[in-house]
Structure 1
Amino acid sequence: MNASGFLVDIQRDEHRVLSPRSQSRVRGPGCDRQQGASTLVLCIVIACTLLGTLGMPTTGLAASYDEAVQQFRNGQYDAAAATAAFEVERGVWSERWPRLLIQCQLTQGNHADALHTYRAALQRYPTSIALRYMGLDVLRFNGLQDEVGQAEADLFAQMQRAFAGYITRDNLVAAGRFLTGRGEDARKVLEMFYDRVRERDPEYLDAYLATAELAIRKGDFQVAADTLQQALKLGEETPELHHLLAKALESSDGQAAAEQIATALQINPQHLPSLQWLAERAIDRERYDDAKDIANQMLQINLHEPSAWALLAVIAHLNGQYDVEKLMRAAALSTWEQNPNVDHLIGKKLSEKYRFAEGAEYQNLALSADPLHIAASFQLAQDMLRLGEEEIGWEIAGEVAKSDPYNVVAYNLMTLRDRTSKFSVLKQDGIQVRMDAKEAKLYGDAVLELLLDAKRILCEKYDVMPDKPILVEIFPHQNDFAIRTFGLPGGAGYLGVCFGRVITANSPASQGERPSNWKSVLWHEFCHVVTLEKTKNRMPRWLSEGISVYEERQRNPSWGEKMSPQYRSMLLSDELTPVSDLSAAFLSPPSATALQFAYYESSLVIEFLIEQHGQEALLAVLDDLAAGIPINDALTRHMGSLQRLDTQFDAYAKARANQFGALVDWSRDTLPEDGDLATWKGWTRANPTNYWGLRELAKSAIEAGQWKQALIPLSRMQQLGVLTGERDGPLEWLARTHRELGQDRQEIRAIQDNLAQSSDALPALRRWINIGQSEEQWENVLDASQQALAIQPLLPEFHLASAVAAEKLDRHDLAVEALSALLELDLVDPAALHFRLANAYDHQNESFPAKHHALMALELAPRYRDAHRLLWKLHHAVSRSDPAAADPADVENPEAVKVPAIEEEEAL
C-alpha cells in the first residue's frame, strides 16, 4: 500500500486515530459480559495513559527530563546530551531519552554516535514512529542512503500497525511530517494528524510547530503566523517557535521577523536555523564578511552543518572564487552526498542575487538528487520565467501546481497565467510588451516607442546589446503584479521590477488617483536591463539602482529622485550610508522615506563617480563585475581605495546638501511643539529664514483659508530657493494660493516650476491644460496633455485635450493617436470621433482609413451630413487619382456616386 492509500484508510477509519478505545475481541464461551466490560475499561485506561504519557518518564524523573529538554532549547547541547546519555545507559524505560540524545548528537554533528544510539534504541522501541522518523536523517547523514529506502518502508509498515489501535501524540505528529515529506495531501495531513492532536491536547507545542511548518512549506504565511501566535500563548521558551514565526513574517514585515530571530537567539544563542537566517540576511545586504563569521559560528556548533557550508559556497560564488565554491559545496555534501537541500539553498540564494542562470543550474542538481523536491522544482520554474524562458518555466510551474495543489505560490502563479493569457502582445526589435488589451489600445504604442528609445540610447551609452528578447509585462491589478514578481499578493509600493531580460510593472490603473509617471518607471527598469546584461547580473543593488535613477534624471530632469529638505537633513545626518554598505539600505528599511532616500543617495554616488572619474571608469567597473571581480575590488582598481571613496563621497554629499538652501535656517531646536496660525506668525517674525517655521505658517494659513497670509511665507521660501515639487508640497500650495488670489501669471509660473521638478504632478497638469484651453494656447495644451498621458493614460480628459490641441495645430498624427484612444473609452458620441479620425487621416493623405472611419460615422449616425460630404470628397479624390481603383460602374456613370442634395432633410 502506498502513502496515499494509507491516508484514505485512515480517513475511512477515523475513529481509530488517536482513539482511547481498543476493540474487544470475541472471547470463548467461558468469558462472561462483566469480564469483557472490565477488560474494555482497562483498555481505555491504558490507551488514555499511553496517549497522554507514553514515553514520559516517571513522576520522579519528569522534572529531570523537562530540565534536559530546556537545556537543549537553550543551546546547552553538551549538558542535555550528558543527561540523556546517562538515562539511556541506566536503562530508564522511555523512548524520549534516546530521541533527545539523538537530537543533541545530530545538532552537534556527531553522526556516528547518533547512529549507534538509534540502532540500540530501535531494538528496544521498535514500534516508535517518532524514533523511526528521526532515524531517517541519522542514516542519511551517515552516508547510508541504501538503507533509507528500507527504513522508510519499515516506518510505513509500523504506521499501518499503529493506526490499527491507538497512537501517541508525538508519533502522530511524526507520522504527519513523514507523509508531508512524501508529498501527501496537505489538508488531510493537517486535519487528520495535527488538528486532532491539538483538539485532544491544546497545549502540545509540537503540533503547532508542525502545522506552521506545513503552512510555510505551502506558502501560506498567514496561517503559519496565526498558528504560531496561538502557540506563543502556551508560554514555552523555545527558539523553534520564534524562528518559524520569523519565516512566516519576513515576506510582509522584515523588521518583525528580525525581532523574532533576536528572541530566538536570546533563548538559544546556538540555534542553527536562526543563525542561518542571520547569515542569509547578511548575504542579502552584501555583508559577506559578516555572513562568513556567522557561518563559521555555525560550524563551531556542528562542523558538518550543510547549510553553513552551502552559504559559504554562495559567498565564494558571489566573490568570484569558483574553486572555493566547489570545495564548500563538497563539504556541505560530505556526510550526505545526495542531500538536495544543499543545492536548493545555494541556487535559491544565487537567484535572490539575480544570478538566475547559475541558480537554475543548482536547482537541476538538487532535482537530480531528488526528482520529487517540490521547492527545487518551483524555484527552477521561477528562475526560468525570470530568464525569459517562459515555455519551460510555465511547464514546470504547472507540474508543481498539479502535484502540490496546496502550494499557494504555484496556485497563484498558474491562476495569473490564465488571466494574462488574454493580454495583448506588442513586438518590435527584440522587445515584447504584454499588457491588458484595452490598455494596449490606449497607450501600448507609446510604451513600445519609449522602450525602443531606451534601448537605442542606453545600449549605446553602456556599450551593450541584449542577445535575447526582452519581455515587459504591465499589470492593471497590483496583486497580479505582486504574484508575477514575488509569488504572493503584497509588494505595495513597488512600481516595477527588472530581473534582467524580464520587466514587470504596475499600470496606472493599479495606483489610485495619483499614479506615478509610467514613462519614468519603464525608463528606470530598462536601464536595469542594460546594466544587468552588461555585468551578467553581477552587480550590487545600490549600483544598479543608482545608475537607473541617475539615467532617469539624464533623460528628463523632472524624473527620478531629487534633493528635498528631508533628503538634505538625511545627507547631513547619520542616515547617510557609506558607499561600501549601501545595498543594506534597500533591505528592510525603517520607513518608505528611508527606502526612497536609498535610491536618491545611490544616484548621488553615481553622479560623484562620473564627475570624479568619468563615464569610462564606471563602464570599466561594470566590465570587471561581468568578469566576476567583486564590487569592492572593481572600485578599488578604477577609483581608489574603498575607504577613501567613502570619505570623499561623504564630503561630496554634505557639500551638495549645504548648497541647497544655503541662506536658510534649517534648525528645529526652538520650533513650537504645537502652534496655531498666530503662534507661527510670531515665531517666523523672529526667525524669518527658518524653513520649518515658514512651511508650518504657510500650511496653517492655507488651512484657515487666509491666502494673502499664506503667500508671505511661500514667497519667502521661493526667494530662498527651497520650494520643492513633492505631492501636496510647497509648490502646489503656491500655485493654489495664486489661483485663489486671482494672480494668473504668478500661478502659471508656479505651475511651470512644479512641472520642472515633479514627474507626476497631475493636478498641476490638469490646471495647465484648463488655462491653455481658456486662452487658446494650444501648444501649451498639447504639451501638458502629453505629459499627463505619461502619468494617467486611462482617463478620457487628457486624450480629448490632446486631440483638440493637435487638431488646432495641424498635428494630425497626434490627433489620430488621441482620437483612437478615445474610441476605446466608450464615450457618448463615437460617431463624432470617427468623423474626426476620418478628417485626421484625410489630412495625412491616408484615404483608406479615412474612408473607413467616415463610413463608421455614417453607420452610427446615417444623417451625419459632414460625414457624407467627407466620404463624397474621399471617393472622388481616390477616383481622380487612380481611376482603375474605382468601381467600373462608378467610372461609367459618375452621377452614381453623387451624394443627394444634403441641404434637403428628405435626401438623407
Structure 2
Amino acid sequence: MLVNRFCLSLIWFCVTAGLVLPANLVAADLNEVRLMFSAGKYDEAAATAAQEVENGIWNERWPRLLIQCQLETGNFADALAVYEEASKRYPTSLTLRMLGLEAYRFTGKTNEALQAKAQIMRLLETSPSRYASRDNLVAAGRYFAMRGEDGRQILKLFFDRVRDADPQFLEAYLATAELALEKGDFKVAADTLDQAELLDPADPRIPTLAAKAWANSDATKATSLLNEALRRNPRYIPALIFRAESEIDAEQYDAAYQTIQEVLVVNVHQPQAWSLLAVLAHLEGRYEIEALMRAAALSTWDQNPEVDHLIGKKLSQKYRFAEGAQYQRQAIEVDSGFQAATFQLAQDLLRLGQDETGWILADEVSRDDPYNVVAHNLVTLNDRIKGFTRIESDGIEVRMEEREASIYGGEVMNLLREAKLVLCEKYDVKPNATIVVEIFPDQKDFAIRTFGLPGGAGYLGVCFGRVITANSPASQGPSPANWQSVLWHEFCHVVTLEKTRNRMPRWLSEGISVYEERTRDPAWGESMTPKYREMLLGDDLTAVSDLSGAFLNPPSPMHLQFAYYESSLVVEYLIDNYGLESLLKTLDDLADGLSINDALARNVGSVERLDAQFAEYARKVADQFAPEASWDQPPPEVASDTKAMLEWIDSNPSNYWAMTAKADREIATKSFEDAKITLETMQDLGLATGKSGGLLEKLAMVYRELDDVASEKKTLVQITQQTSDSLSSLDRLIQIARSEDDYQSMQSFGEQFLAIQPLIETGHTAVVDASENLGAHDRAVQSLSALAMMEPVDPAAIDFRKAKSLAKLNRKLDAKLAVLKALDEAPRYRDAHRLLLELNTDLGSDSETAK
C-alpha cells in the first residue's frame, strides 16, 4: 500500500509540475488576496500576487505573499527567485528575510542559508532602530526563538511589546502562541489564541494552534478546533499534519495515509508528510520503505533536524523509545543546537531507564532554555526523586517516598516479585535489564514524571517498558484504587512490551493487562455490569480493528473504562477459542515486525473475521448476564409522567430498570422490608455487581437498617469478591469481625484493606489485633512498625506491643530496644518496666548459657 501511495505522489508531481498560472489579472486588494490564501486558494492567490509583483507595485507585502504561496505549495526555487529580487528592493524587511531563509534551506542551498541567518544577526546588531516596526519586531522574535534564545525574554522584548503598541496586530498573538506551545506553556497559548480569534475569525492558523494547546487536556475540544481549522481551509497543511498525527496516535493508519496524501497534493515535497509516512512504514515493519520516506522528507533540505525529530517523537509515542532515541541522536548530529531533539532524547532515555544520561540532558535543556515548562518541571521533580528510598531485589528497583517505603515498601516488592515470577513464566519473557517502579505520593509529581506536565487525572499508573510510574494511595483522596491490582496491571505491560519489543497496539496491551488482573484475582480488573451489558449490545461496541482509537478520545470516562473492559474480553475470547499459544505466537510475530493485522491473520484469522466473531461473542456475553431479567427501557412518554412511571414499574416486576427504581423509592421512604424483597429478587436474577452504589451496597445498607448482621456480613463479603477497592465494605467487615472475636476474618479483611489503603491506621490495627490473637507475631511486628510511622496518639503503646511480639519471636535484643523506646516516650509505663525486667533476666540467662 505504502509503495503505491509513494508512486502516486510522484506521478502527481510530474503531471502538475508543468502547470502555469494565469498571467493577466487586474490589480487586486491585498486583503482580499490574503483571504484567498487563508482559505487555501493558493494558486489563485499566487497568480494575483505575481501579477502585482510584476507590475512593480511598491508594497513588500505582495512579494511576501507570493513567497508564502510558493513555499506552501513546494515551489521553493520560484520562492527563492522572488525573494532574491525582492530583497534588493526591501532590504530592511526582516519578515522577508525570514521567508528567504526558508527558501534557501528548501532549495538545498545550505551555505547561503547559513549566511542569510548570520546576516540577520548582523543587521540587528548594527542597526536595531531600522527594524523597530511591528512586522520586523515579530520577525526578530521568531528569529531569536529559532536560535534557542530565552523564550521569556523574547515574549517581553518583542511579542508583548508589539501587542501593547498595537493590540489589533494578529501576528504578535500567533507568534506568542507558537512560542508558548513550543515551550509547553499551553495555558498561555490557549489564552492568547482566544484573543486572536476575536481579531480574525477566518484565519485557520488560530484554531490549529488552539487544537494543539488543548490536545493534552481536552481531546474533544481539540478535535472540534481542528475541524474548524479545516473548515476554514481544507488544504491548510499544519492542520492536516496535526490530524494525521492524531490518526496515527489512534492507530487509524488508513485514515492517516489519506490525510497525508491530501498534504502531498498541496505540496509534494512537504517534509512532515514524508516523515509521517516513514513513521507508518516503521510501524508496519517496512524498514526499507521507511528509509525511502525519510530520504524523501530530506530531499529538499538534507540538514533539516525536524525530520528525524518528528519521526522519533512519533515512534516514542508508540513506546518505541529505543528507535525514537536513535532518531533524536541523528537530529542532534545535524544540528547540535536543536533543543527539541535534545529534550525528546532526555525523555526517551528516562523512559528507557537510562536515568543518568536522561537527567543530565533534561538539566541541560532546562538551564539553556528557562522557559521550557516541561524541562523545568522534570528537573524540579528530579530533586525530589533523589530523596526517594530505593528497594532492590530480583532485578526490580522500587523508588518510593521514605515514609511510604517504610510503611508498605516491602509489600510492594513482594507483589512485584510475584508478578515477575508468574507473568514472565506465562509469557516466556526474561527481562535483561532492571525494571524500575516509581510510586509518587503527589499526583502532580506523577503527572510531571509521566507526561511532563500537571494533569493526567484518572491515570493510576503508566508503563513505558522497563519503567513504571504509579500514584500512591496518598495521591488519590478518600477512595483510592487497589494499589496491588494497579501494579499487577502495569507489570503485565512490562512483560508484554518486552516480549513484543514495544510493538503492540494499545488495545491488545491493555486487554492482556486487564485480563491478567482478573486471572490473578476475580475482584481485580473490569467486570460485567448492567451498563457494560447495555454498551456491548448497543452502538458503543467498538470493532477490534478500531479498539485502540477508543482509548484516545473517549466521549466520557465511562467509555474509557468500557474500552479497557472490551479489550480484555477480546483477549479472553482469543485465549478461550484459539488458546494461549496462539496469543503468544501473535506477540512473537509483533516482535518480529509484523503488523497486528498480519500477526492476527497468521494465528487466528483475518481482522475482519475477528471483528465479526468477537461482535457475536460480545453479544453472547451480554445476553448471559442476568438472562431471566427484562431489560426494556420505559417508553419516553412513560418516563416523563410520574403516575405512568409508577404503573409501569409495578407492571414490570422482572425488569432491571423498574426494580432499580422501585428499590430506590423504597429506600428513600425507609420501607426497608420492601426494599429487601426487591433487592433480593434482583440478586436472585443475577444482577448483583460490586460497583459503587450498586445493588449489593444498597442491600448491605438495608440489612444493616434491619439489624440483620449475618446477612449484611454475607453481602459485604460478596462486594469484596466482586470489586477490589471498597474500603467502606472492608471497614464494616472489620467492625463485625471484631465484635464477633473472629480474628481469622479480621486479619483477612485487614489485609484486603491494606491492599487499597496502607497509609491509614484502620487496616494495620485490624491486622495487629488479629495477628496477636492468632500468634502471627511476625505479621504483627510489620504492621506495628507501620503504625509507628503514622504519628500515633499513643506511640509508647505501639512500641510496647511491638516489643511483646518481638519477645514472642525470641528476638529479645530487638524487643529490649523497642521497650526502651516505649519507656523513653512514657517513663512511668509500668507494663513496659515489667517487660524490660523480664527481657533483662532472659538476656542475662542467655549470656550465662553462652558462657
TM range (shorter): over 0.9
Q: CA deviation at 1:80?
A: 0.5
Match of 1:752 in 2: 717
SS at match of 2:422: helix
**Cα separation, 2, equivalents of 1:884 and 1:383:** 61
Amino acid at match of 1:332: A
Q: Which residue of 1 aligns with 2:183?
A: 218
- 1:628-685 per-residue CA deviation (whole Å, 9 max, x = no partner) reads 1111101000101211111111111100000001011111142643576x87654322
CA contact (8 A) 2:441 2:474 kept: yes
Tell me the distance in 2 between the aligned counterparts of 1:205 and 1:515: 47
Within the candidate set 379, 395, 398, 2:344 is matched to 379
Q: Equivalent residues in 2 for 1:477-876 (5 A)?
A: 477-670=442-635, 672-673=638-639, 682-876=647-841
Match of 1:504, SS? strand
Q: Kindly indicate whether the alpha-carbon contact (under 8 Å) linking 1:878 and 1:885 is maintained by their aligned counterparts in 2.
A: no
- The reply on whether 1:204 has 2:169 as its aligned counterpart is yes
Which digits, 9 at most, give the CA deviation of each residue in 1:220-256, with x for residues without a partner? 0001000000111123411111100001110111111
The TM-score, its normalising length taken from structure 2, stands at 0.95
Deviation for aligned residue 1:830: 1.5
Q: C-alpha displacement at 1:539, in angstroms?
A: 0.6
What residue is the counterpart of 2:63 in the other structure? Answer: 98
**Which residue matches 2:15?**
none
What residue is the counterpart of 1:179 in the other structure? Answer: 144
Q: How far apart are the structure 2 equivalents of 1:772 and 1:733?
A: 21
- What count of residue pairs does the alignment treat as equivalent? 826
Is this contact kept in 1: 2:771–2:780, CA < 8 A?
A: yes
Deviation, 1:290, is 1.5
Amino acid at match of 2:800: F
The one-letter code of the counterpart of 1:823 is A
Q: Which runs of 5+ in 2 are unaligned?
A: 1-25
**Which amino acid is the alignment partner of residue 656 of structure 2?**
Y
Q: Using a 3 Å threshold, how does the CA distance of structure 1 residues 885 and 82 change in structure 2: closer, same or farther?
A: farther
1:63 offset after TM fit, Å?
A: 5.9
Deviation per CA, 1:359-397: give whole Å up to 9, x if none: 000000111111111111111000000000000100000
Distance 1:618 1:737 in 2: 45
Shift of 1:701: 2.6
Deviation string 1:573-626 (CA, Å, 9 cap, x unpaired) is 121111111101100111000000000000000110000010111110111111
* CA distance in 1 between partners of 2:514 and 2:645 (Å): 37
Q: Is the 8 A contact 1:344 1:366 kept in 2?
A: yes
**Partner residue in 1 for 2:240:** 275
Amino acid at match of 1:673: A
Q: Indicate which of 228, 248, 251 corresponds to 2:193.
A: 228
Provide the rounded CA distance (Å) in 2 between the counterparts of 1:479 and 1:662: 45
Distance 2:700 2:463 in 1: 37
CA–CA distance in structure 1, aligned partners of residues 213 and 170 of structure 2: 17
Match of residue 438 from structure 2: 473
Paired residue secondary structure (1:474): strand
Aligned partner of 2:29 in structure 1 is 64
- For 1:664, give the aligned amino acid: A
Mapped to 1, the partners of 2:649 and 2:713 lie a distance apart of 27
SS at match of 2:437: strand
Instruction: Give runs of aligned pairs for residues 410-429 of structure 1, distance below 5 A.
Output: 410-429=375-394
The equivalent residue for 2:399 is: 434
Match of 2:639, as an amino acid? E
Query: 1:199 deviation in Å?
Result: 1.8
Of the structure 1 ranges 161-170 and 497-506, higher mean CA displacement relative to structure 2 is found in 161-170
Provide, for residues 518-556 of structure 1, a one-character-per-residue CA deviation record: whole Å limited to 9, x for no partner. Answer: 000000000000000111101100000000000000000
Query: 3-state DSSP class of the match of 1:164?
Result: helix
The structure 1 segments of at least 4 consecutive aligned residues displaced by more than 4 Å after TM superposition are 678-681
> For 2:685 and 2:605, how far apart are their aligned partners in 1?
37
Percent same amino acid at aligned positions? 55
Q: Which amino acid aligns with 2:463?
A: C
Is contact 2:424–2:495 with CA below 8 Å preserved after alignment?
Answer: yes
* AA in 1 matched with 2:113: V
Amino acid at match of 1:758: T
Question: The residue matched to 1:434 in structure 2 has which SS?
Answer: strand
Q: Secondary structure of the residue that 2:199 maps to in structure 1?
A: coil
Partner of 2:255: 290
Q: Deviations over 1:465-484 (max 9, x none)?
A: 11111111111111110000
CA distance in 1, matches of 2:385, 2:849: 46
1-structure distance, mates of 2:265, 2:235:
9
- Aligned residue in 1 for 2:17: none
Task: Verify the 8 A CA contact 1:879 1:885 in the aligned structure 2.
Answer: no
Q: CA deviation at 1:854?
A: 1.9
Shift of 1:300: 1.3
Higher alpha-carbon deviation: 764-773 or 418-427? 418-427
Bigger radius of gyration among the two: 1
Query: How has the CA–CA distance of structure 1 residues 675 and 489 changed in structure 2, closer, same or farther, with 3 Å as cutoff?
Result: farther
Contact 1:545 1:599 (C-alpha < 8 Å) held by counterparts? yes
Q: State the shift of 1:868 in Å.
A: 2.8
1:393 aligns with 2:351: no
Distance (whole Å) between structure 1 residues aligned to residue 413 and residue 730 of structure 2: 24
Q: Which residue of 2 aligns with 1:368?
A: 333
Q: 1:480 to 1:675 in 2, by over 3 A?
A: farther
Q: Does residue 458 of structure 1 match 2:423? A: yes
Q: Cα deviation per residue 1:386-434 (whole Å; 9 max; x = unaligned)?
A: 0000001000000000000011101111111112222111111111111
Q: Is the 8 A contact 1:74 1:268 kept in 2?
A: yes
Out of 100, 111, 125, which is 1:135 matched to?
A: 100
Residue 251 of structure 1 is aligned with which of 191, 202, 216?
216
Aligned letter for 1:530? V
Letter aligned with residue 646 of structure 1 = D
d(CA) in 1 for partners of 2:296, 2:740: 77
Greater Cα shift, 312-321 or 660-669: 660-669
- SS of corresponding position for 2:778: helix
Distance 1:129 1:755, change over 3 A: same
SS at match of 1:402: helix
Amino acid paired to 2:96: L
* Counterpart residue identity of residue 338, structure 2: H
Secondary structure of 1:489's partner? coil
Contact 2:634–2:648 under 8 Å retained in 1: no
Equivalent position amino acid for 2:348 in 1: D
One-letter amino acid matched to 2:261: N
AA at the equivalent of 2:324: G
| Alignment partner of 1:195 is 2:160 | yes
In the TM superposition, residue 268 of structure 1 has moved relative to its aligned partner by 0.8
The C-alpha deviation readout for 1:798-835, integer Å capped at 9, x for no partner, is 21111001101111111011111111111122122111
- CA shift for structure 1 position 884: 6.9
Secondary structure of 2:29's counterpart equals helix
Q: Distance in 2 between matches of 1:704 and 1:514?
A: 28
After TM superposition, the score normalised by the length of structure 1 is: 0.89
Which shifted more, 690-699 or 615-624? 690-699
**Matched residue, 2:22:** none
Which residue of structure 2 lines up, in the alignment, with residue 356 of structure 1? 321
SS at match of 2:129: coil
Q: How far 1:885 sits from its partner (Å)?
A: 5.6
Q: Which amino acid aligns with 1:809?
A: L
Contact 2:131 2:137 in 1 (8 A): no
- Deviation of 1:700 after TM superposition, in Å, equals 2.8
- Checking the alignment, whether the CA contact within 8 Å between 2:92 and 2:131 is kept in structure 1 is no
**CA 1:449–1:675 in 2, change beyond 3 Å: closer, same or farther?**
farther
